[in-house]
Structure 1
Amino acid sequence: MSSPAVLSAIDTTERKTRNDLAACYRLVARYGMTDLIYNHITARIPGSDHELLINPFGMLYEEITASALIKIDIEGNVLAPGSTSYGVNRAGYVIHSAVHAAREDVQCVIHTHTRAGVAVSCMTDGLLPISQTALRFMGRVGYHDFEGPAIDDGERSRLIAALGRNDVLILRNHGLLTVGRTVAEAFLLMQRLETACQIQVAALAGGPPIFPSRSSQERTAALFNPATGSADVSVSGGLEWEALLRQLDRIDPSYRD
């Protein structure tokens, strides 16, 4: 099916979700957070009964377009195949299905296997409150112990218990996961989390780090928390997302196709 045919058959809400999700894939690639054709970013279509969009398994993130995205139900069954001949990697969808089923507040789930993210996931103390960037996540991170590749449906309940109501889940010896009420929020959280992990790996290479005072840690965390944050601090990703979409449109607007 051609790209125009796919997009002409959908409503405005789904079209916007497709555009945002395709942009998110391109941005994750642009910011160096990909792992060949692996991992997923999923987005719930607002107003639908657990209808989700996911990448075709076999495409690089830099190739993803709005029409290529596959519409699936919560169990990963294909509802609309998109414009390519690729299918869905259902084994890799276990993590995403668990989160979307348990968290009605979540529209978007991003999972990565970056070098810095996996490195921090292997550290005994996990993400350390040693930078302003890391303090964004203070009190908002869950940890899930490694059980092997996440392909077992039985792991879902344990994974969800570890995530709880947090925005971030660090999968021990595996990688990072962020959830957002919008695609923009999920991307902002992942980009900031990845940056915090890179800072931590670099800082620890130079010896024991300096920790901010407990009071400054708490104040900074509160400023970046959506529930308690300041109007002077961006927490939802809206402003950043608008700027990033302008950047993509200047460089290569084909993600909208």
Structure 2
Amino acid sequence: MAPSASTETVSSTLSLKGEKKHAENDEKAVVAGKEMTPLEAISHGMVMPGIPTFPSYAAGRRHILVHMAATFRFFARSGFTEGQSGHISVRDPEHPGLMWMNPLGRHFGMLRAGDMVCLDIATGRVAGGNTSRPANAAGYLIHSAVHKRRPHDVHAVCHAHSNAGRAWSVFARPLEMLNQDVCNFHNAHAVYARYGGIVFGSEEGEHIAEALGEGNKGVILMNHGLLTVGSTVDEAGFMFGLMDRACEMQLAVEAAAANGLPKQIISDEEAAYNFKMASETHALYREAQPDLEYEFEMAGGEDALARGFESLQRLAP
């Protein structure tokens, strides 16, 4: 049935309003002829700081591993644990051919910087860190494949078997742009629509990396779970939590829609604008900080999560 004239008028009016709103927003986002960064645009008064820099590789490494431990504790608080499953990897700031991973079998909520194991991305060789525990073999095969495929923009990879992520993965469908927040994945996530069992061979890891593709921030793994990436562990961890919550909302919306309630999907134009304003690396690093600062507070400060860092075995690239 063709739309009525009134429906066409409303759609046209909404489209014009959307174009006008974006023009006004773009105008506000330019100061003294220079386009504002997303952090400048969102900050009223002083500008929130973005990704920090450090005077030495050691200081940068300590920051990364402490934030990695805090991200794991955020995962634990969010219910992303499932036995020994799940892993996060972060590329070393000094030696890009090495990555840090969590040890196998230690609860996410107990991890500190001094627990992390350093692996050679190309070979899987243990290159340093905490050598008293093994790493997850399946985790190495998945993460190394992603790091090899995306050497320049991906510095951290998160994978876990969250409930909502596993439930939505059964449908092998991408997320719909149902709300403002999920627009962080607009044209930036993929679906791996096959299941190859527990990853004990490099081929399945390579298939997952191929499905993730170039430029995407996450991939839904059918019958398996979710995987997200980022330029920092903070970004990758925040995006994992966001993707899992988006899966939970998608499931709830599908249940309501099955009872006859119509969906209102955000348009591609609006979703693209939201993505542009919210998905810059410094902005996504900043998005993660409230959750990580909470974990620092609960642990007794950042130094508590840095415990064991000074004792980590020296790296052997």
TM-score range, shorter chain: 0.7 to 0.9
Q: Partner residue of 2:264? A: 212
Q: Flag as ranges the 4+ runs of structure 1 deviating above 4 A.
A: none
- CA–CA separation in structure 1 for the residues paired with 2:157 and 2:206: 17
- CA–CA separation in structure 2 for the residues paired with 1:135 and 1:240: 14
Q: Partner residue of 2:228? A: 178
Amino acid at match of 2:262: I
Alpha-carbon deviation of 1:66? 0.3
Aligned length: 240
User: Aligned in 2, Cα 1:247/1:123: closer, same or farther, shift over 3 Å?
Assistant: same
Amino acid at match of 2:177: P
Deviation digits for residues 157-206 of structure 1 (CA, Å, limit 9, x no counterpart): 32222111111111111110000011111112111111101111122223
Indicate whether 1:26 and 2:78 are aligned: no
Q: 2:92 aligns with which of 26, 41, 45?
A: 45
- CA–CA separation in structure 2 for the residues paired with 1:200 and 1:243: 25
SS in 2 for 1:42: strand
Q: CA RMSD in A?
A: 2.0
- CA–CA separation in structure 1 for the residues paired with 2:233 and 2:63: 11
- CA–CA separation in structure 1 for the residues paired with 2:140 and 2:71: 18
User: Aligned in 2, Cα 1:49/1:131: closer, same or farther, shift over 3 Å?
Assistant: closer
Q: 2:184 aligns with which of 111, 136, 149?
A: 136
Percent identity of the aligned residues? 31
Alpha-carbon deviation of 1:120? 0.9
Between Structure 1 and Structure 2, the one with more helix by share is: 2
- TM-score under structure 1 normalisation? 0.85
User: Aligned in 2, Cα 1:58/1:140: closer, same or farther, shift over 3 Å?
Assistant: same
Alpha-carbon deviation of 1:76? 2.2
Indicate whether 1:164 and 2:216 are aligned: no
Q: Partner residue of 2:272? A: 222
- TM-score under structure 2 normalisation? 0.70
- CA–CA separation in structure 1 for the residues paired with 2:241 and 2:118: 25
Structure 1 residue runs of 5 or longer lacking an equivalent are: 1-9
SS in 2 for 1:97: helix
User: Aligned in 2, Cα 1:71/1:181: closer, same or farther, shift over 3 Å?
Assistant: same
Q: Which moved more, 1:119-128 or 1:181-190?
A: 119-128
Amino acid at match of 2:93: P
Deviation digits for residues 71-99 of structure 1 (CA, Å, limit 9, x no counterpart): 111032111141x7321122332111100
Q: Partner residue of 2:101? A: 54
Greater radius of gyration (CA): 2
Indicate whether 1:35 and 2:87 are aligned: no
- Contact 2:70–2:296 (CA under 8 A) maintained in structure 1: no
